[in-house]
Homo-oligomer: A and B are copies of this chain.
């Protein structure tokens, strides 16, 4: 089971910039297509004070630096050129975690943003899904409120599937984190609230010790089934664990371990965060080039 989707990381949050212009982005879409990527998901329109395109709607809500290019249009057109589905992801101010008033402000801004994007790009043939960008690791009232209300609004704008990609708080060797049972209870609470509004959940899989991964993935798949969500896997292509450099391309053997664990747990589709830094022959990290080579070789051997 191969990776057929990737996030697109278009503003600097905690990962540095590849500094690509249109030429390099086009080459990277070609590289994605060559390994079977059919889905690209904008992980976020923006983060804190920066956005990847100009949004007058967002500027009414937040103090933003001037955008320098329109990566949203570029991504939509590249996705169309390569026959891929594009999923639109909203804005994350990193201020919504505090209280419900902050979450409401975040919700209002994201609704205004979606309205604007719909008006500009609603008919673009590549636009095929909504990604709700706000990430949590366990039940969080503010986030779940955003999920409920934003998903409802997005579906009213255009009836496309909605996706979230949360992390989770796995038990670690030091005894911290949630047991599988605690994890299950917390996420049941989330899924019961968003059932029918959020269509797909793709948990991040890098937050768990490798040998404990299957236990959590099986819970995730069961919770999705029970609540009517589809279960995808976000097979992260960067190394976590004890590695000091945060973050670098993952060891190929670790990636394969996680892909197999996701397939065994019943994930319907594998996506990744993310191709262009960590799995691309064009990445700023040379070990992504060799990871791409090894991944392609595996694909060829599997055929």
Query: Does A157 sit at the interface, judged by CB under 8 A?
Result: no
CA distance A244 to B16 in the complex (A): 8
By a CB distance below 8 angstroms, the chain B residues around A67 are: 253
Write the nearest CB–CB distance from A211 to chain B, whole angstroms: 5
By a CB distance below 8 angstroms, the chain B residues around A65 are: 210-211, 253-254, 257
Query: Does A18 sit at the interface, judged by CB under 8 A?
Result: yes
Query: Does A284 sit at the interface, judged by CB under 8 A?
Result: yes
Query: Does A1 sit at the interface, judged by CB under 8 A?
Result: no
CA distance A101 to B68 in the complex (A): 50
- Interface size bracket, A side: 35 or more
CA distance A246 to B242 in the complex (A): 11
Closest to A284 in B: B287
Q: Is the interface of A mostly helix, strand, loop or mixed?
A: loop
Contact A49:B19 (CB < 8 A) given known A243-B12, A253-B69: no
Of B15, B249, B256, which is within 8 A of A68 by CB? B256
Q: Which of A67-124 contact B (CB under 8 A)?
A: 67-69
- Do A257 and B66 touch across chains, with their CB atoms under 8 A apart? yes
State the oligomeric state as a number of copies: 3
Write the nearest CB–CB distance from A294 to chain B, whole angstroms: 6
- Do B211 and A63 touch across chains, with their CB atoms under 8 A apart? yes
- Do B284 and A64 touch across chains, with their CB atoms under 8 A apart? no
Query: Does A139 sit at the interface, judged by CB under 8 A?
Result: no
Q: Which of A240-259 contact B (CB under 8 A)?
A: 241-254, 256-257
By a CB distance below 8 angstroms, the chain B residues around A12 are: 239, 241, 243, 251, 254
By a CB distance below 8 angstroms, the chain B residues around A239 are: 12, 16-17
Of B15, B69, B246, B284, which is within 8 A of A286 by CB? B284
Query: Does A290 sit at the interface, judged by CB under 8 A?
Result: yes
Query: Does A134 sit at the interface, judged by CB under 8 A?
Result: no
Write the nearest CB–CB distance from A75 to chain B, whole angstroms: 16
- Do B244 and A246 touch across chains, with their CB atoms under 8 A apart? yes
By a CB distance below 8 angstroms, the chain B residues around A286 are: 283-286
CA distance A68 to B245 in the complex (A): 24
Of B283, B284, B287, which is within 8 A of A17 by CB? B287
By a CB distance below 8 angstroms, the chain B residues around A244 are: 14-15, 245-247
Contact A13:B251 (CB < 8 A) given known A19-B290, A284-B285, A286-B286: no
Can you sample 10 A-B contacts with CB below 8 Å?
A12-B241, A16-B249, A17-B249, A21-B290, A21-B294, A48-B242, A65-B257, A66-B257, A67-B253, A284-B286
Please report A residues at the B interface, Cβ cutoff 8 Å: 11-21, 24, 48-50, 63-69, 209-211, 239, 241-254, 256-257, 283-287, 290-291, 293-294, 297
